[in-house]
Amino acid sequence: MKDNKDKRCMAIVCHAGEFLASSCMNKAKVEFEGNWYCGIHDPVKVAKKLKARQKKWAEEARVASERWRRRTAEELFCQGIPTEYLESNKSESGGRNA
């Protein structure tokens, strides 16, 4: 391991509400492809975090679309359209033309 005493994190960070991005400048802990990063911006950690976040987003999107589907079905049901019709209509490719 190289000496990282005077090294600073090279990560570029954007702060909410600020136009310009700036460097992190935290004390560097890890070296990655010649660049130094602090514990927060360790590329391996960042990639892992991003993956976890993407997984969470995908799950949230799935839940949201399921909720939306149910809500739409409920609303149409309240308008007097039976869910059986919605389900059968949904399974037909392209829907039916009146």
Binding site for Zn ion (CB under 5 A): 9, 11, 24, 26, 38, 40-41
Q: Which residues are CB-neighbours of 46 under 8 A, at least 6 positions away?
A: none
Residue closer to Zn ion (CB basis): 49 or 67: 49
Q: How near is the Cβ of 4 to Zn ion at its closest, in Å?
A: 13
Here the tokens at position 44 are 């391996």
Q: CB–CB of 28/54 below 8 Å?
A: no
What is the C-alpha to C-alpha distance for residues 7 and 3, in angstroms, rounded to an integer?
8
Residue closer to Zn ion (CB basis): 26 or 35: 26
Q: How near is the Cβ of 46 to Zn ion at its closest, in Å?
A: 9
Q: How near is the Cβ of 9 to Zn ion at its closest, in Å?
A: 3
Amino acid code (one letter) for 10: M
